[in-house]
Amino acid sequence: MIERRISQDFHSQPLLYLDYLLDQMKTRYAQNISDWTHCPSTDESRFLACSTSWIVEDAQFNCDIVYRDENNQPMSVSKEFNLGQTYYNTRMVILEQRLIQGGLRLGTVINKIVQSTNNDNKTDTFCCETIMFLAVILGLSIVILSLLVHCFLRRKSGAIILTPLMKDKNEYVSMP
């Protein structure tokens, strides 16, 4: 889906897509940043507790929403399924939100590590903001690059891929 989005809407230029995601983070989702980066653990230095909580949240979210078809039925790789334009339109917004959320959370964990290793209480806030911003960019870049490599390798290996149906270019079918 990300590959399709970059190809169709960003002229096959991942950096344009990254700029778009960063803009969405600063505008559309700016009010969500503190909620998304909040660690439910009472001990903020326990990075494992934060990431474990976020992983559980993500797994539940995927099972409830992402891994369901347009009719809200669970999808299975053992049977053929179609991913049409409706699925793409509804899940792409969610996928982009989760990419931004993941980048912010990675930045938060990196900032906490830097702050905990810094013995100087005069931590420069500009430095921390810059580190968080760079971590978000790095995190999003890594995710996008990983997904592109994954898609490329799946296509090359002949694994299950989504290919357009002949009758409608906006419908996809899984092919073994």
What separation in angstroms does the CA of 35 have from each of 5, 15, 97? 27, 27, 13
Integer Cα distance of 164 and 148 in angstroms: 18
Tens-digit pLDDT profile for residues 103-148: 898 888 888 777 766 655 555 555 666 677 677 777 777 777 777 6
Q: Which residue, 9, 14, 11, is CA-closest to 147?
A: 14
What residues does each domain of the chain span?
2-72+83-175
State both tokens at 105: 């959370």
| Start-to-end C-alpha separation, the chain | 18
pTM equals 0.63
Tens-digit pLDDT profile for residues 19-36: 999 999 999 999 998 888
135 by Cβ neighbours in 10 Å (0-12 / 13-18 / 19+) ranks as buried
